[in-house]
Amino acid sequence: MPVSGRENFVAYHPHADFRDGHKHPALLLIWRFTLIVVAILLAIWGLHWMGWLNRDLRRISDLSEDGPAQAMLRFKTLHRWTHLLATACVLGLVLTGLPLKFNRQPWIVASMALFGGPDGAALIHRLFAIILVGICLFYGIYMLILRGDRKQSLRKRISGPDSLLPAMRDFRQFIGMFRWFVGRGPRPELERWSYREKFDYWALVISVGVIAFSGAFLWFPTFFARFLSGYWFNVAMVVHSYAGLMAIGCTIMIHLFNTSLRREGFPVNDVMLTGRLSEKELQEERSAQYARLAKEDMLNQLRVPPASDRKRKIAFYITAALQVLGLATFILIVIAALI
């Protein structure tokens, strides 16, 4: 290693306590900032969920009254498989990362054997990380370049109704939903991707980006020590382990708020695995998209046969298992991160 790399490592504190504000104010600031952001996000989306629940209790319509025959395609096969793989990667990263980080806790050490010890857990952890980063990169390329509607201009792909990029209309719809919750305004007309899906998507992308970048510091310390002070490895440790865990836990819980802990999805929202939802649900939940498709005479292109009972049962059990595992993972993250 070059001399500069060894000199940079001198600034690294192998036993730095991020809660010690006198010795490590930067680490404490990062930790507190993460806790505050996570608490605020959970509070906002918790209120959003309670407002929706309150509104649902006063509604009479039944989204299932049309039956499964009125099925509409929402997610293609590629979307369903990448979502399932990304979900497995996120849960796998957390479950392999907890034993590596909190290796002095007896109740966590016991789980290390499931992954073949510390070396096995580290290897699996990195494999999950590579796959998840690859999915994010592929999906970004797919949305901008490889997507089926290549006749659309790049500008429309970025700002059109099928875009996942945030826009001011999403903020207005978010405020409009709270007004609708308390009966102070009409229900906002949502497009294919509402503010909920966009938040879920970008919360995961940003979390993965931050965690992946900090993880690269810890994976290749010799390389990064050539350019950066060793203290940055302390920062990377806090960001990757504590802040990263809380961010992922927050994303998991908010995603549950937005999908399955609502009347339309309770107790299990299997739309992602079946790729289908009822036409009435599309019309009620995403009225702007439904009106646009009707105007463009494209509704028939989305009408598909309903999923078979066998597929729906499989989707139900898989989704239920993932939801239980996600909720358990969130609880484990909170317990582990606060001890």
Domain harbouring 139, CATH code: 1.20.950.20
Task: Say how far apart CA 288 and CA 284 lie, in whole Å.
Answer: 9
**Per DSSP, what are the bridge partners of residue 72?**
277, 303
Q: Higher model confidence: residue 64 or residue 292?
A: 292
Where is average pLDDT lowest: 1-10, 163-172, 186-195?
Answer: 1-10
* CB 97, CB 245: distance < 8 Å: yes
pLDDT tens digits, residue range 113-148? Answer: 777 777 888 889 899 999 998 988 887 777 666 555
pLDDT tens digits, residue range 266-287? Answer: 667 788 888 888 888 888 888 8
- Which distant-in-sequence residues (6+ apart) come within 8 Å of 289 by Cβ? 161, 190, 191, 192, 282
pLDDT tens digits, residue range 197-208? Answer: 899 888 888 888
pLDDT band at 62; cut points 50, 70, 90 = very low
Q: Higher model confidence: residue 329 or residue 61?
A: 329
Task: Say how far apart CA 278 and CA 61 lie, in whole Å.
Answer: 14
Task: Say how far apart CA 189 and CA 195 lie, in whole Å.
Answer: 11
Task: Say how far apart CA 235 and CA 33 lie, in whole Å.
Answer: 13
pLDDT at 339 over 80: no
* CB 177, CB 48: distance < 8 Å: yes
Written as six digits, the tokens of 40 are 């605020």
| Domain limits for position 48 | 3-54+62-338
pTM of the model: 0.81
* CB 188, CB 180: distance < 8 Å: yes
* CB 255, CB 200: distance < 8 Å: yes
The tally of domains found in the chain comes to 1
pLDDT at 90 over 90: no
